[in-house]
């Protein structure tokens, strides 16, 4: 095993960094690229740390760091942290110990919660373009494939782990040991006299991975000695198939997506024009682009049935673990469950703005978490400046019967009717900032200016904008 070479091989699979011209224009890229190893001190991460020390000596262009996450779940946790710091010193590598809290609650998986806080701790050490490295090996890949089968996942789940994968929008994860078996790793540790820790929780088969590792996989290997390698090849084939699907989704999905206010919605008529199979794939793709967990097969079927087949006047609301799915005007809305719970229980109070300078300086923070600002223009639709006697305020709800006349309309209309014309979903209307002078509506920010409050021809006026915090 040449672990340093395996690390370099993974790095060579990454897309090229910025061009010289782009690097010159981007000072952040002048720093060394950081290579962060998730370092538990177990035999797998220990031999990878050993190999990383050799890689670091030959590749000074990388900043190599070990990160040990201290979960505090074991009485030995402090000893493990001390071991990792001692080993790192012997390897000539820096090591950061991250202390995290794993919140335990009924029906909450300790494995899942520990994994979540662990990755958050690792992310805190990564800046744009940095790399995360883990010590997953061939036997881990077999465990992942078996867990995917147990959960009823499709090709994406069965593709399991790749040697090189996107970790998020700005980082990559690499797994240099993925072609090596657990047995090969243990042989390497003995040959190099590498000290490592043993986590006692690894022998508790109440955890799914441990059950597979201790009870199932040894029996499978006894019958089929190369099953870890063959399962890994199956995962690669699933990943290849999924990559083709992803490419096609990337072509089809934008034709169905529409930015509606601050939401990306799904055009249900266009979705219905696809085959049942593609409806399912496009639904999953849309949810994943928004950052939501993809639905199960049964959940996906229920979502599509309600979005596409329910009566036109039916109120559709589907709640999953992290998302609320609604329908309005043949558009599918996918909303964060946390934000929906907040909206359902919140009536925003009015805000008094001391003076126009507060808007011009962008000093107005809305209770939605966004910011409101204004700029001065001399052309286009713009709001006249308030006179000295006019108090500026922002409200978030006015009676639907309020009479309005947007600057681009020849006649006035009730506020409720205008929202319907604009196809703004009912649950979004209460978040639109309504600017008032002395309590009189002068602008629905992002939508219109009241015609009677437009700046006169040639005069300076205000253009209002909501910005994300």
In a domain, 280, yes or no: yes
DSSP state of 23: H
Give the separation between CA 344 and CA 394, rounded to whole angstroms. 20
Dihedral of CA atoms 141, 146, 148, 154 in degrees, nearest 10, equals 100
Q: Are residue 147 and residue 43 in the same domain, yes or no?
A: yes
Q: Are residue 291 and residue 336 in the same domain, yes or no?
A: yes
Q: Are residue 234 and residue 368 in the same domain, yes or no?
A: no
Report residue 266: phi and psi, to 5°. -115, 125
Give the separation between CA 61 and CA 305, rounded to whole angstroms. 54
Q: Are residue 40 and residue 147 in the same domain, yes or no?
A: yes
User: Is 63 within 8 Å of 32 (Cβ atoms)?
Assistant: yes
User: Is 433 within 8 Å of 448 (Cβ atoms)?
Assistant: no
Q: How many independent structural domains does the chain possess?
A: 3
Q: Which helix (H) or strand (E) holds 156?
A: helix 155-158
Give the separation between CA 280 and CA 272, rounded to whole angstroms. 11
Q: Are residue 50 and residue 158 in the same domain, yes or no?
A: yes
| Strand arrangement of the beta sheet that strand 364-365 belongs to | 364-365, 371-377, 461-467
- CATH number of 118's domain: 3.40.50.620
Helix (H/G/I), strand (E/B), else coil: 376? strand
The total of other beta-carbon atoms located within 10 Å of residue 81's CB is 19
Determine the pLDDT at residue 249.
94
pLDDT tens sequence across 330-377 = 899 998 877 665 565 567 888 898 888 888 888 888 887 788 889 999
Give the separation between CA 253 and CA 269, rounded to whole angstroms. 13
In a domain, 239, yes or no: yes
Q: Are residue 57 and residue 206 in the same domain, yes or no?
A: yes
pLDDT tens sequence across 131-162 = 999 999 999 999 999 998 988 888 888 888 88
Find the largest Cα–Cα distance for the chain.
88
Q: Are residue 192 and residue 266 in the same domain, yes or no?
A: no
Determine the structural domain holding residue 36 and report its residue range. 3-246
In a domain, 142, yes or no: yes
Residue by residue, DSSP assigns 244-268 as: HHHHHHHHHGGGTEEEETTEEEEEH
Specify the residue for token string 């970790």: 167
pTM: 0.68
Q: Are residue 73 and residue 196 in the same domain, yes or no?
A: yes
Give the separation between CA 132 and CA 454, rounded to whole angstroms. 54
C-alpha Rg value of the chain to the nearest Å:
28
User: Is 408 within 8 Å of 381 (Cβ atoms)?
Assistant: yes
- CATH number of 267's domain: 3.30.465.60
Q: Are residue 60 and residue 184 in the same domain, yes or no?
A: yes
- Name the domain boundary from 343, 362, 380: 343
> Which residue intervals of 267-313 are DSSP H helices?
268-272, 276-289, 297-309
Nearest residue to 90 via CA among 194, 198, 197, 199: 194
- Name the domain boundary from 343, 369, 398: 343
Q: Are residue 334 and residue 455 in the same domain, yes or no?
A: no
Q: Are residue 318 and residue 370 in the same domain, yes or no?
A: no
CA 273 to mean position of chain CA atoms: 29
User: What share of the chain in percent tops pLDDT 90?
Assistant: 54
Specify the residue for token string 């929906």: 340
Burial class (CB in 10 A: 0-12, 13-18, 19+), 459: exposed
Helix (H/G/I), strand (E/B), else coil: 178? coil
Determine the pLDDT at residue 25.
55
Q: Which helix (H) or strand (E) holds 67?
A: strand 62-70
The total of other beta-carbon atoms located within 10 Å of residue 37's CB is 27
- Name the domain boundary from 246, 270, 286: 246
At a CB cut-off of 8 Å and minimum separation 6, what does 320 contact? 292, 293, 295, 299, 337
The parts of the chain modelled with pLDDT lower than 50 are: none
In a domain, 116, yes or no: yes
Determine the pLDDT at residue 183.
92
At a CB cut-off of 8 Å and minimum separation 6, what does 204 contact? 210
Determine the pLDDT at residue 257.
94
At a CB cut-off of 8 Å and minimum separation 6, what does 391 contact? 352, 437, 438, 439
Would strands 62-70 and 94-99 be described as parallel, antiparallel, or unpaired? parallel
Nearest residue to 66 via CA among 45, 44, 42, 43: 45
Determine the pLDDT at residue 340.
61
In a domain, 183, yes or no: yes
pLDDT tens sequence across 268-315 = 999 999 999 999 999 999 999 998 888 888 899 999 999 999 887 788
In a domain, 462, yes or no: yes
Q: Are residue 210 and residue 262 in the same domain, yes or no?
A: no
Residues 204-238 as b/e (b if ≥16 CB within 10 A, e otherwise) read eeebeebebbeeebeeebeeeeebbeebbeebbeb
In a domain, 282, yes or no: yes
Token digits of residue 345: 């229980």
In a domain, 251, yes or no: no
């Amino acid at each position: 095993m040449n672990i340093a070479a395996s690390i370099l091989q993974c790095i060579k699979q990454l897309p090229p960094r910025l061009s010289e011209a782009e690097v010159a224009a981007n000072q952040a890229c002048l720093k060394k690229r950081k290579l962060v190893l998730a370092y538990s001190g177990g035999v797998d991460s220990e031999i990878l740390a050993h190999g990383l020390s050799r890689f670091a000596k030959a590749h000074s262009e990388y900043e190599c760091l070990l990160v040990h996450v201290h979960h505090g779940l074991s009485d030995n946790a402090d000893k493990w942290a001390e071991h990792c710091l001692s080993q790192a010193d012997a390897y000539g590598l820096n090591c950061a110990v991250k202390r995290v809290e794993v919140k335990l609650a009924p029906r909450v998986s300790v494995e899942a919660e520990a994994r979540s806080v662990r990755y958050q701790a690792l992310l805190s050490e990564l800046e744009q373009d940095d790399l995360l490295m883990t010590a997953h090996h061939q036997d881990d890949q077999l465990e992942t494939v078996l867990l995917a089968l147990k959960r009823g996942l499709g090709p994406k789940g069965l593709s399991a782990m790749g040697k090189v994968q996107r970790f998020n929008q700005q980082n990559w994860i690499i797994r240099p040991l993925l072609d090596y078996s657990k047995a090969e790793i243990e042989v390497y540790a003995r040959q190099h006299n590498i000290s490592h820790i043993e986590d006692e929780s690894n022998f508790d088969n109440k955890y799914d991975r441990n059950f597979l590792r201790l009870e199932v996989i040894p029996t499978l290997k006894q019958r089929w000695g190369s099953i870890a390698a063959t399962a890994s090849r199956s995962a690669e084939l699933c990943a290849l198939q999924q990559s083709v699907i992803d490419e096609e989704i990337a072509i089809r999905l934008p034709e169905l997506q529409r930015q509606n206010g601050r939401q990306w919605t799904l055009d249900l008529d266009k979705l219905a024009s696809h085959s049942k199979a593609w409806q399912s794939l496009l639904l999953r793709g849309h949810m994943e682009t928004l950052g939501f967990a993809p639905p199960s097969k049964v959940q996906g079927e229920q979502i599509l049935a309600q979005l596409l087949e329910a009566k036109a006047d039916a109120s559709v609301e589907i709640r999953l673990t992290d998302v609320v799915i609604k329908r309005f005007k043949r558009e599918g809305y996918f909303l964060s469950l946390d934000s929906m719970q907040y909206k359902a229980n919140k009536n925003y109070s009015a805000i008094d703005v001391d003076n126009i300078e507060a808007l011009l300086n962008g000093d107005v923070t809305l209770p939605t978490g966004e910011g409101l600002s204004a700029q001065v223009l001399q052309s286009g639709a713009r709001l006249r400046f308030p006179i000295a006697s006019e108090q500026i305020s922002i409200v978030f709800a006015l009676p639907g019967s309020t009479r309005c006349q947007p600057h681009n309309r020849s006649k006035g209309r009730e506020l409720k009717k205008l929202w319907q014309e604009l196809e703004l979903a009912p649950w979004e209307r209460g978040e639109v900032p309504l600017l008032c002078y002395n309590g009189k509506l002068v602008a629905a920010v992002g939508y219109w200016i009241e015609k009677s409050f437009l700046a006169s021809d040639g005069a300076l006026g205000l253009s209002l904008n909501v910005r994300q915090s």
